[in-house]
Amino acid sequence: MNARAKALGKVAVLMGGSSAEREVSLMSGRGVLDALLAQGVDASAFDPAHTDLVELKNEGFERAFIALHGRHGEDGTVQGALELLGIPYTGSGVMASAVAMDKVMTKRVWAAEGLPTPRWVLLPPGDVPRERLHAVPDELGLPLIVKPSREGSSIGITKVMGYSQMQDAVLLAARYDADVLCEEYIDGVELTCAVLGRGADARALPVIRIDAPGGNYDYEHKYFSDDTGYRCPSGLPPEAEAEVQRLTLAAYRALGCRGWGRADLMRRAADGRLFLLEMNTSPGMTGHSLVPMAARAAGIGYEELCLRLLEQAALDSGAGS
């Protein structure tokens, strides 16, 4: 065992969980676990859907690598439990995780900081009158995007092309979250940019351009399809690449993120203007995942990336940093 691995102690890789993204989380977790074991880390798989988190303490785990996605994984709940247990964990703390998981709260923070994000309308829980549904396209224009406020991996999302699609789109999104977010559609290039570190030391990785068939970067194309193209280097002009990285770092810091994260953005075709869509505080680590791809472009291999993220495990109190 090398000195870096030994210093990390007994590590739990949290994977699976109970969210709609369980399948992806299991893929991420297995990849992380294999990478840590290959470097001599004393790591074990831990699925909160099957074992109570308090067992982490009972079994003597000293750090946790969070490879959970979605609810009860990257929404601050697991982070809060780990805070109470005193077990340092990877990624953002309780507040940043909770805010970033909620797309509307994220937009409110970014808007307050003067950061660009598409215009939006929040529909409250319950039955929405037909007149209100039809008012949304009038306000945001068509096409528009309808999605759950607190869900990830493009689950429950509809690109609405006409008024008649609004009701079905809202019903689909409401299956995953009571709050439904309607968002202005930005016609252009989809980009993603990862960040490693915290505060002033945070560093943006190379930008990735996403070319999905028909512009449809849905759950299937994210994780299981080989038809989606990823460009890293992105092919953007150097000044545009630098602006994406600058904006991503500003968005990351505004939310108080730490450890790592990945922002999704659109670059509007008409004028090249950038728009922030969301911040992922527990990005995927599967074979199709984008943070490992960007890290490789920056000269950081998958195993080294996993080790670095684990070394940054911390508590909001600062212990374990």
CATH number of 10's domain:
3.40.50.20
289 given a catalytic annotation: no
Is 153 in the active site? yes
Q: Can you give the CATH number for the domain in which 180 is found?
A: 3.30.1490.20
Q: Which of 25, 92, 153, 282 is catalytic?
A: 153
Catalytic residue among 150, 258, 284, 302: 284
138 a catalytic residue = no
- The alpha carbon torsion through 83, 85, 88, 89 (nearest 10 deg) reads -70
Candidates 100, 106, 69; CA nearest to 257 is 100
Q: How many domains does the chain have?
A: 3
Check: CB of residue 173 under 8 Å from CB of residue 148. Answer: yes
Q: Beta-strand (E) ranges in 47-168? A: 63-66, 120-123, 144-148, 158-160
Domain assignment of residue 145, given as a range? 120-184
**Distance from C-alpha of 166 to C-alpha of 132, rounded to nearest angstrom:** 10
pTM (predicted TM-score): 0.93
Annotated active-site residue in 16, 17, 19, 21:
21
- Residue 124: cis peptide before it, omega within 30 degrees of 0: no
Reported as a single tens digit per residue, the pLDDT across 12-56 is 999 999 988 899 999 999 999 999 999 999 999 999 999 999 999
Are residues 113 and 124 located together in one domain of the fold?
Answer: no
Known catalytic residue: 21?
A: yes
- 166 shares its domain with 112: no
16 and 124, same domain (yes or no): no
Q: Check if 252 is active-site.
A: no
Do residue 113 and residue 132 come from a single domain? no
The Cα 321–Cα 314 span in angstroms is 5
DSSP 87: -
Which is catalytic among the residues 75, 151, 264, 303? 264
Same domain, yes or no: 162 and 107? no
Identify whether residues 72 and 220 lie together within a single domain. Answer: no
Structure tokens at 86: 């005193």
Sign of the dihedral defined by the CA atoms of residues 80, 81, 84, 89, in that order: negative
Quote the DSSP letter at residue 249: H
Q: Which two tokens stand for residue 80?
A: 């809060």
**Whether 177 is catalytic:** no
> Are residues 217 and 296 located together in one domain of the fold?
yes
* Both tokens assigned to 131: 């007149």
Q: Identify whether 313 is part of a domain.
A: no
Known catalytic membership, residue 280? yes
In terms of Cβ atoms closer than 10 Å to its own Cβ (0-12, 13-18, 19+), residue 130 is: exposed
Please classify residue 275 by burial: count the beta carbons closer than 10 Å to its beta carbon, then call 0-12 exposed, 13-18 middle and 19+ buried.
Answer: buried
Whether residue 231 is found in the same domain as residue 294: yes
Along the 321 residues of the chain, how does pLDDT read in single tens digits? 689 999 999 999 999 999 888 999 999 999 999 999 999 999 999 999 999 999 999 999 999 999 999 888 999 999 999 999 999 999 999 999 999 999 999 999 999 999 999 999 999 888 889 899 999 999 999 999 999 988 765 788 999 999 999 999 999 999 988 999 999 999 999 999 999 999 999 999 999 999 977 655 444 444 445 677 899 999 999 999 999 999 999 999 999 999 999 999 999 999 999 999 999 999 999 877 999 999 999 999 999 999 999 999 999 976 544
Identify whether the C-beta of residue 47 lies closer than 8 Å to the C-beta of residue 16: yes
User: How many other C-beta atoms can be found within 10 angstroms of the C-beta atom of residue 229?
Assistant: 10
pLDDT, tens digit, for every residue of 93-112? 999 999 999 999 999 999 99
d(CA 255, CA 82): 20
Catalytic status, residue 108 = no
**Is 207 a domain residue?**
yes
Report if residue 105 sits inside a domain: yes
Active-site annotation holder among 217, 223, 252, 302: 223
Specify whether 67 is located in the same domain as 148: no
Catalytic residue from among 102, 177, 183, 278: 278
Choose, from 25, 92, 234, 280, the residue flagged as catalytic.
280
Q: Are residues 262 and 113 in the same domain?
A: yes
Q: How far is CA 102 from the centre of its chain?
A: 11
Predicted pLDDT at 150: 86
Together in a domain, 247 and 140: no
The catalytic position among 73, 262, 289, 302 is 262
